[in-house]
Amino acid sequence: MTDSVVTRFAPSPTGFLHIGGARTALFNWLYAKKHGGKMLLRIEDTDRERSTEAAIGAILDGLKWLELGWDGEVIYQFARAARHREVAEQLLADGKAYRCYASAEELAAMREKARAEGRTRLYDGMWRDRDPATAPGDVKPTIRLRAPQTGETVIEDQVQGRVVWQNENLDDLVLLRGDGNPTYMLAVVVDDHDMGVTHVIRGDDHLINAARQKQIYDAMGWTLPSMSHIPLIHGPDGSKLSKRHGALGVDAYRAMGYLPAALRNYLVRLGWSHGDQEIFSTEEMIAAFDLASVGRAAARFDFAKLENLNGHYIRHADDQSLVKMFEDVLDHVPGRGELKAKLNDTTRAQLAKAMPALKERAKTLIELIDGAYFLFADRPLELDPKAQALLTPENRRLIGQLHSALEKVETWSGAATEAALRAFAEENSLKLGAVAQPLRAALTGRTTSPGIFEVLDVLGRQESLGRLKDQATT
């Protein structure tokens, strides 16, 4: 047994990989990386009704996209049910668990009574010490833990501090159901133990489970892993995170054009801080991450911050990798098949050439796609309403003149077209801006675009002159 760090991410595949889950995965991943350990992945698919293959696929895809790779094979919890049963039987044999034959009606009555008396312990210990020989024949028993009835259960949580439960308030929890299926609580403990997990890092909605799980560890004589329960992510107003406020699957963030590095950077700052530092490379994040700096207050999700951070990552990404991301995101946004079909070596090269200008004004890959619209637009261009309004009859005559002026440029480049346009403006006593705007409308179909000389350069001579001709009148 080595003492190297083993963390795990243990999502239930009842839905996509949501943003809170992604942050939990990130924290586990960072902690493992920082300590030269491993992060394992366990799919908690014991809820057969609600677990789906599609959700498993979305979780694996989401983690891969976020570049949060796990170590070893994926562990599927349901496949380990026999081992969970074995542990329940062992506890039974050791007298640390017992069979409970209480009927559904009896249990309901116990619960009602406990509630009426304001007690949180719902099970009254009915079968704890009763002779199984007196058991009714028609009830399939559950196996319950013979939990301590006095004293305290204490979790020294790395984030929450020391958390204490009075044992008199905790139930003898069910380990194995009447149908022989292990409960979630048992499965988690057995799996974490068998997988050699040293650090459990998860949402604080599981804090109460930690107390129950500790009782199972104690009964088995196993060592409890280090526990860290991180506060959940709330909406910007402090309320439960709603869809509108970001409670979406990671795939939705991908489709909205966020970069994995930006999302990771955003997520790491949700509940964890390192001085005032906002931007972290992956290496910096790994080096700086620690559990002691995870706050206890709920983190608030802020779309505007995420967007700004994403803009930063886009501006600093290299052009070739942005071309790749541009291409990749097209598969995840509906209705972009046509654009995808237009990507070839020529258009990719154009895109790369335009990238320095395009990335300056895009906060997401979707905005980048939008900005690059002009590169892929077919002649004659569809003009947006503002460009349409700009191309008055007078300006269309100007476009005709500009076409003639630019036609004379033999060796096409940004600089050569700039020289020609400046000369034209001067000769006609026009300001460069008065020339550039109609030109932009005719060349891009929009009123905003990268610098006009860059546009001319990227489109090239033939396409530029063709587009001007399309809009010109004499």
Site track 152-191 with ligand GLU (rule: CB under 6 A), x = hit: ------------------------------------x---
- By beta-carbon proximity to ligand GLU, the closer residue of 44 and 157 is 44
- Alpha helix ranges (H) inside 94-228: 104-116, 184-194, 207-220
From 155, 20, 6, 10, select the one nearest 71 (Cα to Cα).
6
Q: Is 44 in the site for ligand GLU (CB under 6 A)?
A: yes
- By beta-carbon proximity to ligand GLU, the closer residue of 12 and 401 is 12
- What is the DSSP annotation of 422-474? HHHHHHTT--HHHHHHHHHHHHHSSS--S-HHHHHHHHHHHHHHHHHHHH---
Strand 226-230 and strand 233-234: the pairing is unpaired
Tell me whether residue 431 is one of the annotated catalytic residues.
no
Q: Which residues pair with 300 in a beta bridge?
A: 234
- By beta-carbon proximity to ligand GLU, the closer residue of 202 and 467 is 202
Q: How far apart are CA 175 and CA 291, in angstroms?
A: 31
Q: Is 11 in the site for ligand GLU (CB under 6 A)?
A: yes
Q: Binder to ligand GLU among 6, 10, 26, 176 (CB under 6 A)?
A: 10
From 149, 178, 179, 181, select the one nearest 166 (Cα to Cα).
149
Nearest-approach distance from CB 220 to ligand GLU, in angstroms: 17
Q: How far apart are CA 268 and CA 261, in angstroms?
A: 11
Nearest-approach distance from CB 179 to ligand GLU, in angstroms: 21
Q: Is 202 in the site for ligand GLU (CB under 6 A)?
A: yes
Q: Is 353 in the site for ligand GLU (CB under 6 A)?
A: no
The one catalytic residue among 214, 243, 359, 431? 243
- By beta-carbon proximity to ligand GLU, the closer residue of 188 and 285 is 188
Count, residues near ligand GLU per rule CB under 6 A: 7
Q: Is 206 in the site for ligand GLU (CB under 6 A)?
A: yes
Q: What values do phi and psi take at 139, rounded to 5?
A: -110, 125
Q: Indicate the SS3 state at residue 240.
A: strand
Q: Is 204 in the site for ligand GLU (CB under 6 A)?
A: no
Q: Indicate the SS3 state at residue 42.
A: strand
Q: Binder to ligand GLU among 12, 167, 437, 447 (CB under 6 A)?
A: 12
Three-class DSSP labels, 59-91:
HHHHHHHCCCCCCCCCEECHHHHHHHHHHHHHH
Q: Is 243 annotated as a binding residue?
A: yes
- By beta-carbon proximity to ligand GLU, the closer residue of 9 and 326 is 9
Q: Is 121 in the site for ligand GLU (CB under 6 A)?
A: no
The set of catalytic residues is 243
Residue ranges of the binding site for ATP: 243
Footprint of ligand GLU on this chain (CB under 6 A)?
A: 10-12, 44, 188, 202, 206
